[in-house]
Structure 1
Amino acid sequence: MSADVTKADQTPPAAGSGTAPEEPKGGPAVGGAAARNAGAITGLLSGPAGRSAGLVLALVLLVVVGILTGGDRFASPENALTILRLGSVIGVVSVGMTFVISGGGIDLSVGAIVALSSVWATTVATQTMAANSHWIVMVFAAVAVGAGCGLVNGVLVAYGRIAPFIVTLAMLAAARGLAEIIAKRRTQIVRERGFIEFFGGSVLGVPVLVIMFALVAVIGWVLLNRTTFGRRTLAIGGNPEAARLAGIRVQRHTMYLYALLGVACGIAAVMLMARTTTGTSTHGQLYELDAIAAVVIGGTLLSGGRGTVVGTVLGVLIFTTLTNVFTLNNLDTSTQAVAKGAIIVAAVLLQQRVSRTRST
């Protein structure tokens, strides 16, 4: 007889009763139900819905702080659109970064790629071609340069077997330097009025830049959660060797991930050109840190294997709102940097705790 059998189970039924002993009231059934409920709640809180709820709560608290400290200046619709407009550029980069980090990689060159794409698309030659045909030439130039840089990163990481940190660090230096050479360290002005009017306009009061960010986020969510490409990305990030044994072409897929991020950088360059009406080698400063921070805050694992576009979008909004609150209260950028650093460390510690809880 096993050791976990209770005395009630061992007591024989009364003579002639013909019935089995009754189950103790409030016994295992109730305890088992409570344990199952507690487990369900824990699973919900540690799952995607729970993480998103936590991010929404953090964003709401930031909004409350902004209203209390900034008053009508923060609560105005114009300021809300300003927050969305400022977050749209880094948001597009962050969505692309979500795929690379989910696939087990990292990219430190996104800011430099944005700068190079903006410079290339605003050269005299490119703008002359746009003037003779259509401003869409500038868009193609920016996206093509971004995709090319991402493809170089992907080839070196996947087929050259060089650590992503080293490859993208080299691209950061090379792309920024090439942008300075092309622009001769000068700011290039966007002179194509059609380009500025289109991307600087609005639809039903919503800026085109915000709409572009929303479209990229929706496409990214569908690609990551509803396609084979997304499932393969998470599989590679979780265990590349197991993914290879399952028939996934890991090297080729990794190359595609970096190229996808390059395309996102090209789109972000177009948006930045429209917002500032310039192309310069100083564009995209520290974008790599902001994008990685937004992705990590959103719940994507730095080690790969789990990614969430919804979380990334919320992470971007949290950081952008935080910056807006600090700006309205005349707090310096150094204080903002300290706050961002503390938030990133807290998010990573929370990720580690959740991972340990799920593994036990």
Structure 2
Amino acid sequence: MNTSEGHTLPAEAGSAPPGPAGPVAKDAGRAGARRRPDVHNLSLLGVLAALVLVGVLTKPEQFLSVQNLQLVLTQASVIGVVTVGVTFVIIGGGIDLSVGAMVALATVWATTLATQQFGLGGILLCALCVGLGCGLVNGLLVSFGGLVPFIATLAMLASARGLALQISEGRTQVVSVEPVLALGRRDAYLLGIPPIVLVFAVVTVVGWLVLNRTTFGRRTVAVGGNPEAARLAGIDVRRQRLLLYLLSGLCCGIAAFLLIVLTGSGQNTNGNLYELDAIAAAIIGGTLLSGGRGTITGSVLGVLVFTLITNLFALNNLETAVQQIAKGAIIVAAVLVQKGRTS
């Protein structure tokens, strides 16, 4: 069975019996598993290059300006952190429709007057705890409650949105903590790079290492590829799925704090459609919706593709409706390509 970025699983029941050609076939399968993500990522880099070329040809001065490039990276950072967590969940055979609502709830809860009294540390800790708490509920419902991930996370989506609305009473909660606001100013940029982008880079690197260099990553791929085979191999499938939803919640908490820094406020409308953007970016990056295969690198490239498309449409004053149609077409094309490769 093919897995994420070079991982392979033990042969399943019904596979070819061992023989002289067995080791050769196994080595070829491993080599193919390593090459496929690389080819896919190279194709995504080609798409990014094409989008950059479009920007250079249509709006060269605006597109290539330092301010616009910083804007693109900043916009990609918040949804990018969410996408890293969603990628793990999908590779593990699940789905998380509640990430946008969790981000909204975390931003609202972390920006209440009571929380702001504890300063930057209080806001950050609150956002992380809210994300982890929501992830824990999702994980318990899916792993030990027996709910289908779609239903469990859909319920969390509705509940978290409702609670965010109740806490904020539909108002924008302005942040008055100076250290938090300072992180969003240009004075805090390191070598011209916003702190938000640096956090995104760290999350991406850590996510890549966890998926490709740890037992947790190998278990995630195994559970997503074949839960029964993983169970027979001694993996606690329910515990692994619980940890995956906790990881997704943690990423939502981090993204919520980044959004607070970026906007200087908390709103119940934050994170709108983040779940669709994150899942779409993961699919574009080569993550299989059925689980068992995916890459952090591909997901990040998928985020950059969508962010560049949004930026190009804004620079060229094109309608939002056309932008959504373009995104939908890209998603359909990516799924069709995946289906062809899988078959």
- 1:248-327 equivalences under 5 Å are 248-327=235-314
Offset, 1:198: 2.8
Q: TM-score, normalised by structure 1?
A: 0.85
Q: How many residues align?
A: 314
Query: Which residue in the other structure is 1:229 paired with?
Result: 216
The answer as to whether partners of 1:142 and 1:270 remain within 8 angstroms in 2 is: yes
Q: 1:150 and 2:140 equivalent?
A: no
Supply the AA of the counterpart residue of 1:325: L
- 1:35-50 equivalences under 5 Å are 43=32, 47-50=36-39
Q: Secondary structure at the match of 1:205?
A: coil
Match of 1:101 among 90, 93, 117: 90
Match of 2:164 among 145, 154, 179: 179
Q: Secondary structure at the match of 1:206?
A: coil
Offset, 1:203: 1.0
The answer as to whether partners of 1:45 and 1:51 remain within 8 angstroms in 2 is: no
Q: TM-score, normalised by structure 2?
A: 0.89
Offset, 1:100: 0.1
Offset, 1:90: 0.1
Query: Which residue in the other structure is 2:179 paired with?
Result: 194
Supply the AA of the counterpart residue of 1:94: T
- 1:1-360 equivalences under 5 Å are 43=32, 47-130=36-119, 135-200=120-185, 201-356=188-343
In the alignment, structure 2 segments of 5+ residues that lack a partner are: 1-27
C-alpha separation between the residues in 1 aligned to 2:283 and 2:312?
A: 21
C-alpha separation between the residues in 2 aligned to 1:44 and 1:257?
A: 23
The answer as to whether partners of 1:103 and 1:305 remain within 8 angstroms in 2 is: yes
C-alpha separation between the residues in 2 aligned to 1:199 and 1:190?
A: 12
CA RMSD of aligned residues (A): 1.6
Supply the AA of the counterpart residue of 2:292: G
Q: Secondary structure at the match of 2:118?
A: helix
Offset, 1:137: 1.1
The answer as to whether partners of 1:143 and 1:263 remain within 8 angstroms in 2 is: yes
Offset, 1:199: 4.8
The 1:245/1:45 distance shift into structure 2, 3 A limit, reads closer
Output one character per residue of 1:67-93: Cα deviation in whole Å (capped at 9) or x when no partner. 111121112222111100111000000
Supply the AA of the counterpart residue of 1:302: L
Query: Which residue in the other structure is 1:11 paired with?
Result: none
